Amino acid sequence: MQCRRVMMSPTRTASVVVIAAMVVVAHGCGRDVADREYFAELDGEEKGMTRETQIAHMDRAIRLAPERGFYYDTRGGYYIDLRQFERARRDLDRSIELAPRPYAYFIRGLASCQAGEVARALADFDTAIAQQPENGQFYRGRSLARAATGDAVGALQDALSLVAVLPQQGESYYARGVARALWGHDVEAVADFDRALSIRPELVYVIEARAKAHERIGDLAHARADHDAAEQLRVEKSGCAPCLDPFRY
């Protein structure tokens, strides 16, 4: 029987960026040596394997099968975890050269944002959305990037699309709150941050954003309470990168 592969986007642990992966699904389909390295690092996620060890597995997989773009996505995600953004970008560049998939553009955009190059990320988010407009999470990345570059109109448009597609996610309301704050609508922004935290109370960056919104509307008591809560939670969630950075997935 011939092997058949399908694309899926698995959610990894909180400290790993969501990456595009190829999974062998056909009954009776075997794995070659490169795939065995790839699946060894995936198994390591549940076994407490260090990122460096997982990267070593991916190094071997890439040497054995350098034409498989999703291997570069995976290793690039680990480099993002280690905040080695230039290495991550090289891997994602190579992935896109081999197979220009929308998810690879999206992850490269997130890496640029985390590296402080938000304007550079916009073209990647644009490409990801153009190729797969039904993928709501892409709008989250672009909404936040647009907000960070002062594009209030675009940020709100994307945030509204995001809430419509993914109303069950707290991060959607965070993005809308950030966009509303750009318009000076801080009361509505606070309501969105409240909604986000009712779904995801561990998101430190939402509490921090709410504190700033409280300050702008003159509610200093609630602002101070949020600042104190965020400071404590930042320590408690120090190992949870997606709790601290809105561009981490």
Q: Residue 84: pLDDT above 60?
A: yes
The answer as to whether 78 is a domain residue is yes
Per-residue burial over 70-89, b = 16 or more CB atoms within 10 Å of its CB, e = otherwise: bbbbbbbbbbbbeebbebbb
Q: Residue 152: pLDDT above 80?
A: yes
**CATH classification of the domain holding 26:** 1.25.40.10
pLDDT at 228: 98
What are 125's two structure tokens?
């988010």
Whole-Å CA distances, 12 to 9, 15, 74, 75, 157: 9, 8, 11, 13, 29
Contact 239, 15 (CB under 8 A): yes
Contact 171, 141 (CB under 8 A): no
The answer as to whether 26 is a domain residue is yes
- Which residue from 133, 165, 125, 157 is spatially nearest to 247, judged by alpha carbons? 125
pLDDT band at 200; cut points 50, 70, 90: very high
The answer as to whether 103 is a domain residue is no
Higher pLDDT, 121 or 3: 121
Average pLDDT, integer, range 31-56: 89
Contact 201, 208 (CB under 8 A): no
Positive or negative, the CA dihedral 232, 234, 240, 246 is positive
Q: Range of 65's domain?
A: 1-98
Whole-Å CA distances, 161 to 46, 106, 143: 35, 17, 10
- Which residue from 145, 180, 182, 146 is spatially nearest to 163, judged by alpha carbons? 180
Choose the final residue of a domain: 98, 114, 130. Answer: 98
Region label for 9, one of left (φ > 0), alpha (ψ between -120 and 50) or beta (otherwise): beta
What are 218's two structure tokens?
């003159």
Q: Residue 9: pLDDT above 50?
A: no
pLDDT at 16: 39
Average pLDDT, integer, range 160-172: 97
Average pLDDT, integer, range 22-50: 73
The answer as to whether 121 is a domain residue is no
pLDDT at 47: 83
| pTM (two decimals) | 0.83
The answer as to whether 135 is a domain residue is no
Average pLDDT, integer, range 210-229: 98
pLDDT in tens, 21-34: 434 433 334 579 99
Are residue 161 and residue 84 in the same domain, yes or no? no
The answer as to whether 38 is a domain residue is yes
Domain count within the chain: 2
